[in-house]
Amino acid sequence: MVVVMSPSATDEQVDAVVARVEDAGGEAFVSRGVSRTIVGLVGDVERFGALDLRGMLGVSDVVRISAPYKLVSRQHHPDMTTVYVGQRRVPIGPDTFTLIAGPCAVENPGQTLEAALMAQAAGASLLRGGAYKPRTSPYAFQGLGEEGLRILADVRSETGLPVVTEVVDADDVDLVASYADMLQVGTRNMANFSLLQAVGSVGKPVMLKRGMSSTIEEWLMAAEYIAQRGNLDIVLCERGIRTFETATRNTLDISAVPVAHTMSHLPVVVDPSHSGGRKDLVVPLSRAAIAVGADGIIVDVHPEPESALVDGAQALVNGDLRALAQAVLQLPPLLGRRPALEA
Ligand code: PEP
Ligand code: MN
C-alpha cells in the first residue's frame, strides 16, 4: 500500500503519516520524488485500512499495490530513479548513459591500472573489477580478496574512477563496502536473501544482476529485499539468461530492459560481455542496449586477454574500444541522453 502525499504536503504532515503507521506496528518508507512524496507501507494491509490515512492532512490518495514487489515498483514511485555513485556522484538514470568498464577480475596492480586507463579512454566513468570471483569450478581462480580491494582503491586514487565490485558473502559486506563505491551482487547470488539484506543495510549503491534462470518478477523481488532494508540506490543489470541456444554463453534478454523499466523505477544497465561471452558481440549488443533504453552498460576490458585469469574470451582490448567509445558517445544523444561523464 502507498500513501500519495499532495504536492503541497509539509514535512510535518509526512511525519504524521509515518508516525501513525509505525504506531500501528507497520513500517513506512518515504520517497521524495520530483513531483510528490510517497510513503510506502509494509506490514498488515488490513490493519492500515483501519487507520483512516486518507483523511489525514496532506494526503492525496491511498493506493493498494497489487505487485508483490512494492518499494521498487513504478506504482510506488512513478518518477524514474537516478542512482549516484562515488564521491564524484556519477549518475546512472534516465537522463544519462553510463559506461562501466574494467577487468573481469583484479589480477595485479599493473593489469588493473592498465585496464582502468583503457576504460577511461573509451569514456567509462566507473571502474568494474572483481576481487571476489564466484566461479563455477572450485579449482578456478577465486580472486585476490582484500588485496584486490586495495588494488581497486589505489587505482581509484590514480584515475578518479569510482569502483564497482562484487561481494559474494554476507560476512564480507562491511569489508567490501569500506573500499567500494558500489556493491555488485552477481547472477549466482541474486536469490541469496541474506546477502541481499546485508547489502541493503550498508548504505552504498548496489548493482543487482539478474539471476541467469530468474524471471523479471523474481529479479524485482530480489531488489525488494535490498529496498526493504532502507536502500533504494539499486541498479538492475540484465546479463543474459539460460536458453537452449549454445552459440552464446547466455542469451541477452534485450526485452528485459523496457519491461523492467515499466515495472520498476530503478535504472537498468546491460552486461554485453557476460551475456554473449564473446568479444565480437560486445559492440553490437551494446548498441542494442542503448537502442532499447538501457541506462548504461558494464563491459569487460583487459590489456592482455590471452593471459587473463578469468573470461579472456569476452574482454575487449585497446583496438576494440574505439567502436565501443563511438557507440557510447554517439548513440545515446539520439535518444535524449547525455554521456554520464558530462553530467
Ligand atoms: C562479473 O560481472 O564479474 C560476473 C561474475 O558476472 P555475472 O554474475 O553476471 O556472471
Ligand atoms: Mn566475468
pLDDT digits (tens, 9 = 90+) for 201-213: 999 999 999 999 9
Cα→Cα distances 336→96, 259, 260, 269, 293, Å: 8, 19, 19, 17, 10
Give a yes or no: residue 78 inside a domain.
no
CATH code where residue 54 lies: 3.30.70.1140
User: At 151, which amino acid appears?
Assistant: I
pLDDT at 139: 94
**Is the per-residue pLDDT at 36 higher than 80?**
no
**Is the per-residue pLDDT at 343 higher than 60?**
no
DSSP code at position 326: H
Q: Following DSSP, what letter does each residue of 4-28 receive, concatenated?
A: EEPTT--HHHHHHHHHHHHHTT-EE
For the stretch 258-267, pLDDT in tens is 999 999 999 9
CA of 186 to the centre of ligand 1 (A): 5
For the stretch 89-103, pLDDT in tens is 999 999 999 999 999
Domain identity same for 121 and 224 = yes
pLDDT at 342: 58
What is the rounded average pLDDT for all residues in the chain?
94
| Smallest CA separation from ligand 1 atom 10, residue | 187
Domain identity same for 171 and 312 = yes
Radius of gyration of the chain from its Cα atoms, rounded to whole angstroms: 21
Give a yes or no: residue 310 inside a domain.
yes
Residues 6+ apart with CB under 8 A from 218: 190, 191, 211
Strand, helix or coil for residue 340 = helix
pLDDT at 65: 81
Lowest mean pLDDT among 43-47, 184-188, 251-255: 43-47
What is the C-alpha to C-alpha distance for residues 236 and 160, in angstroms, rounded to an integer? 24
Residues 6+ apart with CB under 8 A from 165: 128, 129, 130, 131, 132, 148, 149, 152, 176, 179, 180, 182, 183, 184
In 3D space, the residue among 77, 18, 73 whose CA is nearest the CA of residue 48 turns out to be 18
CA of 30 to the centre of ligand 1 (A): 32
Counting ligands in written order, which one lies closest to the CA of residue 270? 1
How many distinct structural domains can be found in the chain? 2
Question: φ, ψ for residue 103 (rounded to 5)?
Answer: -75, 150
pLDDT at 254: 98
Give a yes or no: residue 135 inside a domain.
yes
| Smallest CA separation from ligand 1 atom 9, residue | 187
Give residue 28's domain range.
Answer: 2-63
